[in-house]
Structure 1
């Protein structure tokens, strides 16, 4: 009886072992697939960055844009500075990739993605909270734009405003004076050329001028020829006859 039980247990163990090994192998394959998918997503991620500068050209912070999984993660960091006052400041992506001091008006208006006309605008981000020493850090996410959107032919820039504003919820109103700016993607040379080059049509007119040429002048020269006839004068002297009287 004991021998029969022992044989049955051994046979059952022999049957279970391959099944357990098969299950372990399948579990390992699922883990590798998940890891590979994560690795693929990481390798497909895109990143853009910029340096934020004040009106005097001094750097006050940095910003990075990480694109993955269908949204952008925006990280803004600023060290202690005298440009950013304590409190909340408006933060937005603007539609032109230039940051000319001192007012940064060259950055254009807040960015709107193609086909998007509502508010908040596509480029509107969460307000940046600044600490008493001027330092700040913000990490926020948005689906308002893609990496390709920011690298369009006009370029884009990130602007920090003096006031928090209304976050663009009902209008395109900006949050006061622009105090810092950083170019995310510069405007392309091709875009600049095409926007400033106009088509010039040159009209060539042919003017025909008719000049009246006077007939050639015929010069008539009249010469007066005086013919003098020289007639020789012949003087005839008659011989003088002297009569002498006889005996004289």
Structure 2
């Protein structure tokens, strides 16, 4: 397959799922309440607080209840856009303070660099906010990787298991769908991307993972295509 652009997922694909669940989620939960109290009147934060109320169907919820809602969504790993935006804001300070670095598999860092040098446009599509994506790659285990990417997409584009989301991405990057490769560890996401006409490869980094009818690779090094 001739590939001009690659769109990659993050969790389980470029980095370990455990990093998000063992490092980032606990950090956000620990500091979210204090962050909201200190920054609730700032326009970007206020907008996400309002969006949380609207999404929950509780327009009159006070800040304490909004915080409780968000903490519950963290525990449930809910893919809610306002939660992801607020998590990114909280994580920013942790990254900048050196509390942690963004986990990236060595093979992912190496191959993305090689693909970038070969002239293939790289994009990220993750349920985490664009801000969080840029933080993870900007403060990664391998330094600032953001120059490798031509763009970032999150759930404001649409759900990752929805075919229309991938059509929107293809339209945004202006590359024919058949020349775009989507990398993910989740079969339902790959199914949606394939239905939109994208090429797909499933990253199967752990034993026992659910697999589908997509080409599989145990690492980025094993991803094969004609560039």
Normalising by the smaller structure, the TM-score range is under 0.3
Structure-1-length-normalised TM-score: 0.22
Which one scores higher on RCO, CA 8 angstroms, separation ≥ 6?
2
Structure with bigger gyration radius = 1
Structure-2-length-normalised TM-score: 0.24
Higher fraction of strand: 1
